[in-house]
Amino acid sequence: MATLLYRLGRFAFRRRHFTALFWVALLALAGVGAAGAPVAGNSSFSIPGTEAQKAFDVLEERFPGASADGATARVVFKAPAGEKMTDAGNKAIVRDTVEELSDGSEVARVTDPYQGGGVSRDGTVAYASVSYQVSGMELEESSRDSLEDAAEGARDAGLTVEIGGDALQAVPETGATEIIGIGVAAVVLVITFGSLVAAGLPLLTALIGVGIGVAGITALASTLELGSTTSILATMIGLAVGIDYALFIVSRYRAELAEGREREDAAGRAVGTAGSAVVFAGLTVVIALVGLSVVNIPMLTKMGIAAAVTVAIAVLIALTMVPALLGYAGRRVRAAGEKGKRRGREAREDEEKGNGTAKEKARRPNMGTRWARFVVRRPVAVLLLGVVGLGAAAIPASSLELGLPDDGSQPTSTTQRRAYDLLSEGFGPGFNGPLVVVVDAKNSDDPDAVFRQTGDDIKALDDVVSVSPAAPNKAGDTATITVVPDSKPSSVATEDLVHDIRDAGTGVKADTGADVLVTGATAMNIDVSQKLNDALVPYLTLVVGLAFLLLIVVFRSILVPLKAALGFLLSVMAALGAVVAVFQWGWLSGLMGVEETGPVMSMMPIFMVGVVFGLAMDYEVFLVTRMREAYVHGEKPDEAVVTGFRHGARVVSAAAVIMMAVFAGFIGSSESMVKMIGFGLAIAVFFDAFVVRMAIVPAVLALLGKKAWWLPKWLDRALPNVDVEGEGLRAEGDADAGEKGGSPDDRDLARV
Q: Is the pLDDT of residue 661 over 70?
A: yes
**750 band by pLDDT with thresholds 50, 70 and 90:** very low
Helical H segments across 135-176, by residue range: 141-156
Amino acid at the residue 358: A
Q: Is the pLDDT of residue 340 over 50?
A: no
pLDDT digit string (tens) for 384-415? Answer: 999 999 999 999 998 888 777 677 777 777 88
pLDDT at 746: 43
Q: Is the pLDDT of residue 50 over 80?
A: yes
**556 band by pLDDT with thresholds 50, 70 and 90:** confident
Q: Among 365-369, 497-501, 687-691, which stretch is predicted with the lowest mean pLDDT?
A: 365-369
Q: Is the pLDDT of residue 344 over 50?
A: no
pLDDT at 362: 46
Amino acid at the residue 351: E
pLDDT digit string (tens) for 208-256? Answer: 998 998 888 888 776 776 766 678 778 878 888 888 888 889 888 888 8
Residue 112's Cβ-count burial label (10 Å; 0-12, 13-18, 19+) is middle
pLDDT digit string (tens) for 167-186? Answer: 776 555 555 556 777 788 78
For the CA atoms of the chain, what is the radius of gyration?
Answer: 31
Please, what is the Cα angle at 269 between 265 and 274, to 5 degrees? 150
Nearest alpha-carbon partner for 162 in 122, 118, 135, 125: 125
pLDDT at 740: 41
The DSSP-derived string for 90-137 is HHHHHHHHHHHHHT-TTEEEE--TTTTT-B-TTSSEEEEEEEESS-GG
Q: Among 198-212, 503-517, 607-621, which stretch is predicted with the lowest mean pLDDT?
A: 607-621
Do 199 and 243 contact (CB within 8 A), yes or no? no
Q: Among 11-15, 69-73, 146-150, 531-535, which stretch is predicted with the lowest mean pLDDT?
A: 69-73
The better pLDDT of the pair 18, 48 is held by 18
pLDDT at 184: 81
Q: Which residues pair with 131 in a beta bridge?
A: 72, 109
Residue 543's Cβ-count burial label (10 Å; 0-12, 13-18, 19+) is buried
Q: Is the pLDDT of residue 736 over 60?
A: no
Q: How far is CA 326 from the centre of its chain?
A: 31
Average pLDDT, the chain: 82
Residue 480 phi, psi dihedral angles, 5° rounding: -115, 145
Please, what is the Cα angle at 269 between 268 and 270, to 5 degrees? 90
The better pLDDT of the pair 285, 373 is held by 373
Q: Please count the residues of the chain.
A: 752
Do 316 and 61 contact (CB within 8 A), yes or no? no
Q: Which residues pair with 519 in a beta bridge?
A: 436
Q: What CA–CA distance (Å, rounded) separates 414 from 411? A: 6
pLDDT at 596: 72
Q: What is the DSSP letter of 167?
A: G
pLDDT digit string (tens) for 679-714? Answer: 998 999 899 989 998 999 999 999 998 898 888 888
Percent of the chain whose pLDDT exceeds 70: 87
Q: What CA–CA distance (Å, rounded) separates 533 from 528? A: 9
Q: Is the pLDDT of residue 734 over 90?
A: no
pLDDT at 25: 94
Nearest alpha-carbon partner for 450 in 463, 442, 63: 442
Query: What is the helix (H) or strand (E) element at residue 537, kind and residue range?
Result: helix 521-555
Q: Is the pTM of this model over 0.85?
A: no
Nearest alpha-carbon partner for 609 in 409, 435, 397: 397
pLDDT at 379: 93
**C-beta neighbour count of 720 within 10 angstroms:** 7
Q: What CA–CA distance (Å, rounded) separates 298 from 221? A: 14
Q: Is the pLDDT of residue 3 over 90?
A: no
